[in-house]
Each structure stands twice: as C-alpha cells, then as structure tokens.
Amino acid sequence: MTAPQADLSGWSVKPFTGAGYTHDVYRKGAGPGVVLIPEVPGIHPGVLALGNHLVDNGFTVAMPSLFGEPGKPASAGYTIATIARACVAREFAAFATNKQRPVSLFLRALARDVNASTPGKGVGVIGQCFTGGFALAAAVDDSVLAPVLSQPSLPIPLTAAGRSDPGLSQSELTIVADRCANEGLCAMGLRFSADKMSPRERFTTLKQRLGDAFEVIEIDSHPGNAHGFGRTAHSVLTDEIREVDGQPAYEARKRVVEFLTQALT
C-alpha cells in the first residue's frame, strides 16, 4: 500500500496578491475555509490528495503555489532543486531565527480573503515541512482559528538556536500566545520522533509558550518502531499516510480533520 495521491482535476486557479507578493491559489470545495500550504517541492500529488480529503470532509481548500510546479510528482532531484531556490528567497528567510517572514504577511492576507468568502467561524491553516511554521505565523491574524504545524522545518535546524526557534518572531509568538490565553485559540503540531529536520526542541519551545493550547502528536519513528516507519520518516500528512485504521499517520490525519471541524464550525 502506498500513500494517497491525486491530480489537479476539479481545482480552479487564480492569482492572489497580498503584502506585495502574488502567487497562484488553487481552490476547491465548499464549507469552512482551510489554507493548505504545500510542502517542498510544491503542490505534488500527495498534497493534492490531502486537499481532496479535506474537501471530501466538507471544507473549502485554498492552496497557494509558493514554489515548484503544481501537479508534478516529487522526486529527489526536483526536491533538492526546489529547496535550493527556496532557501535563498527573502520571502522565506530559511535560516533566520526570531524572524517575521514576509510570506507570513501574504498568508494572513490570503486567510482573510478565504474567510470572507466561506462560511464558518474562521479559517484553518495547515503548514508542512518548509512551510510548517507559516501556519502559526498566520494565526497572528484573527481570521485564523486553527493552525496546524506538520513537521515544521524552518529555520533550518543547523544550530541549537535554530532547533529551538519556533519558526516565527518573538513578537508574532507573543500575539499568538495572547490569543491562546485570552481568545481560546488552539494549535496543533505533528512530527515523527526521530525527524532531525523538525526537531523536538522546536515543539518544546512552542509548548512552553502556548501551554495546553498546543496539541502535539509525535509518532514513533525510532529504530524498531511498531509500525515500521523509517529513520527518514518526515511528511506526516502526505508521504507516510497509509489509509488503514490504526496506522499512526492515518490517525493523525483523522485528528487534524476533527480539530479543524471543532474550531471552524
């Protein structure tokens, strides 16, 4: 059994401009809005399958194409080339700590736009891998009620400071923490236990700041784990999904849908 995949069938596309940046945004579905930020190398078939799953569960999904070629299958060469380009883009500030990333301003504008055109109390934002932390940075905006950080990998964890950095500036994190304390905002984080690209220290920092408002799902990927996840297991909601009850990534996806439903409806 392999991870679910899909193509661009049924998705509409239109450019969206926010905070001085313009990206194509793919949309599909009806119901409360969810901004699904693709992982590197882009809107690949696994990300599209996740989008379709959210649509099937009653959401409107908006996917901004921040990098890569939408619909193109992931491969090692394609992924490496995309990372190389993304890491030098000022929009993403891949190595900076305590940094407000310009892409977060674009995503907040997109979240407001999606919120204005969909029913529900607000919108959810799912970030993955390179974009994982962008979901929490988007939650500075009041329109975002359900940020989901799946294996957040920025800043690139090359140093102790990088590993513990939450992926957004301290001023942004203070606003999010205040929303958690006073407005009932909750966030969710997902990672594999042995994933060095999404270090545990990052979640420790977020747990310290957000407390019980930050729900963590950590899936065992250490050697000898019961479900056979490899030491490089990384993408919780795409590559590692096997649609079998009890499979931890599959169960994590169920919880994400439940989290979004509870927050937005």
**Confidence label for 88 from pLDDT (cuts 50, 70 and 90):** confident
What is the enclosing helix (H) or strand (E) of 126? strand 123-128
Q: What is the structure's pLDDT at 1?
A: 86
Q: pLDDT digits over 155-180, tens only?
A: 999 999 999 999 999 999 999 999 99
**Domain range summary for the chain, segments of one domain joined by +:** 12-264
Strand pairing partners for 125?
Answer: 35, 147
Summarize the chain as % helix, strand, coil (round to 5).
35, 20, 45
Q: What is the structure's pLDDT at 165?
A: 96
Residue with tokens 């892409």: 103
CA distances from 255 to 208, 237, 249, 262 (A): 22, 11, 10, 10
Query: For all residues of the chain together, what is the average pLDDT?
Result: 97
At the top level of CATH, the class of 12-264 is alpha beta
Q: pLDDT digits over 225-254, tens only?
A: 999 999 999 999 999 999 999 999 999 999
**Confidence label for 16 from pLDDT (cuts 50, 70 and 90):** very high
Mean pLDDT of 88-113: 94
Q: pLDDT digits over 119-157, tens only?
A: 999 999 999 999 999 999 999 999 999 999 999 999 999
